[in-house]
Chains A and B, each alone.
Chain A
Amino acid sequence: MNTAPAASLPESARDANASLRRAISETRRRNAGKVRLAGLQGAGEPWQWCLGGALALGILMVLGLLLLVFWNGLVTFWPRPIEQVRLHDGTVVAGEPVRSQTFRPGQEVLAALDPAPRSGIERNDGMAARTLYRTGNYDLYGDDFRWLPDYEIAEVSRPWDLMLVERMEWGVFVGRIVAISSGGQRAPVGDVRSPDLIKRHEEARRRWQSIRALERGEIGAVNHRLEQERLRLRRASLANPEGGTALDAARQRFAEREAALKAQHQVLADRASGMRRAHEGDLVVLADAAGREKEMPLGAIVRFYPANDLSLAERLGVYLSRWGEFLLDEPREANTEGGVMPAIFGTFAMTLLLVLVVTPFGVITALYLREYARQGRLVSIVRISVNNLAGVPSIVYGVFGLGFFAYILGGSIDQIFFPERLPNPTYGTGGLLWASLTLALLTVPVVIVATEEALAAVPRSMREGSLACGASKWQTIRNIVLPRAMPGIMTGVILAMARGAGEVAPLMLVGVVKLAPELPIDGYFPFVHLERSFMHLGFHIFDVGFQSRNSEAGKPMVFVTTLLLIALIFAMNVSAILLRNRLKRRFQGSQF
């Protein structure tokens, strides 16, 4: 082209354009219907449907899970009717029907049946129906649940006077309240709603609670002081291995204090045992559906209600009082009944501590990696390693936490600061602090990655603007970069929190226990006891569902606890997101 004369250029160019256009339209005609398929597929709609369908499927599964958990969790505490079942052999059983299913009775069972039900089963291809009843009365029957096949049942009724009695021990009792007896005086109970019964039950409960308060509170405090004195003596004897006047003085002091405290303890213990005697003398007589009687202290009954004779308001009352107990009380009956307050508290405290540890640690690491470190091979390796850390199975972190934090770090702390308590470990065993640190380690990659992204997303113009004002690098980071990156950092922290709160496996190694009677916060100095083991909702689910004596009894609690765990994590996430949005609002209207 450059050799052609200037005057002929436009013309030749026009020719070239025309031939090119011809060639392109020729190719388009040839390929019509091949490259770009006509119709639906050409528009790409089937792909849209596939993508949308995948999303819908995902949402459906999540919704299904939530619905299952919500439904099962919400109905658990609703009082259900009790059915009294008379069997063909004359036995009378009562219980809450739990669920029904069809099953195939064995040959020998069929052979022993009457001809009428047997032919019915044979018509049904050998299948029969059966219902699971929650009969309670573990102390009488040795079991809480019983399957009753339809062919054994002669009659089902719902007598109004059948009671469901929740007890401190042995699970529920299904039957009737026959009498109350105190001091050998037995007074029959006619009406289960009699104010007298209710009043006496309330009194008995109050007495029981004051026994517990006395034992936990005042006697506990005396024991605590006694332990302190013992530790003080031991400290003195460790400090003066040779003996001497100081040790003698300490011994003297201990002897005095011990005597005083023991006297105090004796007074309190006498009071407690007096109340216990009253507790055990105030009895209630229960009878199951078949009439077998059972005597027990009135104060050991948590709640009773005539299940078949409740108005809606009364049902609601029972429902709410059960929720209240669940949320605010301690567990009973190997965690299958009662509340989960210590577990809620433990989960919350651990997550909070985890966030407090992981946020500064992750943010500082990311700041160094992104802002200060020279971007080279070493930093790339560090970054890849951090990302890979997120993929390590969590149980490995648990083992590391136990070995490093609890045994090495905690062991050293015990040697240095708490020698008088050895060989009992203080920090040298699993506890709230070590669990939080382990989970912080587990979740720190999430925070690092999110923070790095957020820092990288801060526009260069912001940094330059600040530097041009004469700000140092650190001033720029603190005043401009960090505030600007804060929503992104918060996102990372939220993700870390959600992951940490839902983690169970490593916790089993570093401090979560089935039952922790003492909360990590109490009235004894130093008030916050990070070394204590604690309860956790996630572990509680595992424990109730799979480690308890009766998985059928634990099942409803699994759902309720799951519901609670989801709600707790949801609440924590929502509050974190609200906080993030408040931060974000400050950057609204930004053009960058």
Chain B
Amino acid sequence: MNQTSATARPASIEFGPTVYHVSRGSHGEAVEISDFDLWYGAKQALFSISMGVEAGLVTALIGPSGCGKSTLLRCLNRMNDLIDGLRIRGRISVAGQDLYAPAADVIAIRKQMGMVFQKPNPFPMTIFENVAYPLRVDGIRHRAMIAETVERSLRGAALWDEVKDRLHESALGLSGGQQQRLCIARAIAGTPEVLLMDEPCSALDPIATAKIEELIDELRGQFTIVIVTHNMQQAARVSDNVAFMYLGRLIEYGDTDTVFTAPKNERTQDYVTGRFG
């Protein structure tokens, strides 16, 4: 959001208004969240979240456990629809299209939003079929096209060289880090606009984590990436903009360097300096 740092609006009384810094980016907003509330049954999990995700950049959602960052991420492709008793208010729009409009096509929305999960979840199929899955569910039968997409996606996920000789072996034989990169390949195979990553490295060892971070860096510019992470160093390393959330509120949002070096809110400061969290 190319807002001035002084722009502020109340998030809640006890937490003070959300602090918006100038965010990096100049291509406009890919995702716009405005005044978004969410309840699980009677319990409110998100409070009046408003933020814009810059197109083509990496936006990190950070905050302590239970702060609602995963919930917010999963609202972006309506993954939360699977949960009973979920209610929302507000608006999330992607490329100007309201995700929660009554006439919205959930499946079309999910095709626009690739998603990578916390634990690698390759399907019990071959490596090739895993990556081809988004095309298969679209009913695409064109073999050459599928093969080309699979190769492009695997190259995009920096996995091609490792698996090109075993494309037709089970994906479950891959290592954890390879599986997660396979999941990224699968997510980008459907050529989404936005890539959602829900703590993609939390189940991986440091070397695999470094590879994934490298990959995120390479994907910057090709996709708008929203990543949830527990790891502040990771957020600092990979993201352009960062949003700090706390107890369902968006506390501070803006350019990563600014949020990490000159946070306005006391809680943000405590969290990014490691005093709690």
Distance in Å from the Cβ of A485 to the closest Cβ of chain B?
A: 11
Segment among A151-159, A235-243, A391-399, A584-592 that sits at the interface with chain B: A584-592
Q: Residue B107 at the A interface, CB < 8 A?
A: yes
Decide if the interface of chain B is mainly helix, strand, loop or mixed: helix
Which of A461, A471, A589 is within 8 Å of B133, CB to CB? A471
Q: Residue B186 at the A interface, CB < 8 A?
A: yes
Q: Report the bound CA distance from A464 to B116 in whole Å.
A: 10
Is B133 in contact with A591, judged by CB distance below 8 angstroms? no
Is A461 in contact with B138, judged by CB distance below 8 angstroms? no
**Nearest CB in chain A to that of B174: its residue:** A589
Instruction: Map CB proximity to B onto A432-475 as digits: 1 under 8 Å, 0 otherwise.
Output: 00000000000000000000000000010111111111111001
Is B170 in contact with A589, judged by CB distance below 8 angstroms? yes
Distance in Å from the Cβ of A474 to the closest Cβ of chain B?
A: 10
Contacts of B77 in A (CB 8 A): 468
Q: Residue B28 at the A interface, CB < 8 A?
A: no
Q: Report the bound CA distance from A463 to B77 in whole Å.
A: 14
CB-CB under 8 A for A470 and B107, given A464-B79, A479-B133, A589-B172: yes
Is B173 in contact with A589, judged by CB distance below 8 angstroms? yes
Q: Report the bound CA distance from A32 to B179 in whole Å.
A: 54
Is B133 in contact with A466, judged by CB distance below 8 angstroms? yes
Contacts of B170 in A (CB 8 A): 586, 588-589
Contacts of A484 in B (CB 8 A): 124
CB contact list, B122-168 vs A, under 8 A: 122-124, 133-134, 136-138
Q: Report the bound CA distance from A480 to B137 in whole Å.
A: 12
Is B190 in contact with A587, judged by CB distance below 8 angstroms? no
**Nearest CB in chain B to that of A476: its residue:** B137
Q: Residue A411 at the B interface, CB < 8 A?
A: no
Contacts of B123 in A (CB 8 A): 462, 465-466, 479-480
Which of A463, A470, A483, A589 is within 8 Å of B137, CB to CB? A470
Contacts of B61 in A (CB 8 A): none
Q: Residue B111 at the A interface, CB < 8 A?
A: yes
Is A590 in contact with B124, judged by CB distance below 8 angstroms? yes
Contacts of B186 in A (CB 8 A): 465, 469
**Nearest CB in chain B to that of A374: its residue:** B84
Contacts of B117 in A (CB 8 A): 461, 464-465, 468
Instruction: Map CB proximity to B onto A187-222 as digits: 1 under 8 Å, 0 otherwise.
Output: 000000000000000000000000000000000000
Contacts of A479 in B (CB 8 A): 123, 133, 136-137
Contacts of A465 in B (CB 8 A): 117, 121-123, 183, 186
Q: What size tier do the contact residues of chain B reach? A: 20 to 34
Q: Residue B176 at the A interface, CB < 8 A?
A: yes
**Nearest CB in chain A to that of B139: its residue:** A475
Q: Residue B211 at the A interface, CB < 8 A?
A: no
Most buried by B among A462, A467, A590: A467
Contacts of A589 in B (CB 8 A): 170, 172-173
Which of A459, A468, A590 is within 8 Å of B115, CB to CB? A468
CB-CB under 8 A for A586 and B124, given A470-B137, A471-B133, A472-B137: yes
**Nearest CB in chain B to that of A461: its residue:** B121
Instruction: Map CB proximity to A onto B234-266 as digits: 1 under 8 Å, 0 otherwise.
Output: 000000000000000000000000000000000
Q: Residue B177 at the A interface, CB < 8 A?
A: no
Contacts of B134 in A (CB 8 A): 469-471
Is A471 in contact with B137, judged by CB distance below 8 angstroms? yes
CB-CB under 8 A for A470 and B121, given A465-B183, A479-B137: no
CB contact list, A549-592 vs B, under 8 A: 586-592
Distance in Å from the Cβ of B256 to the closest Cβ of chain A?
A: 26
Q: Residue B57 at the A interface, CB < 8 A?
A: no
The 7 closest A-B pairs by CB, nearest first: A470-B111, A468-B115, A589-B172, A461-B121, A471-B137, A465-B121, A469-B134
Residues on B close to A: CB < 8 A?
77, 79, 82, 107-108, 110-111, 113-115, 117, 119-124, 133-134, 136-138, 170, 172-173, 176, 179, 183, 186-187, 190
Q: List 28 A-B contacts (CB under 8 A).
A: A459-B121, A461-B117, A461-B121, A464-B82, A464-B121, A466-B133, A466-B137, A467-B82, A468-B79, A468-B114, A468-B115, A468-B117, A468-B187, A469-B134, A469-B187, A470-B108, A470-B134, A470-B190, A471-B133, A471-B137, A480-B123, A484-B124, A587-B124, A589-B172, A590-B172, A591-B120, A591-B176, A592-B119
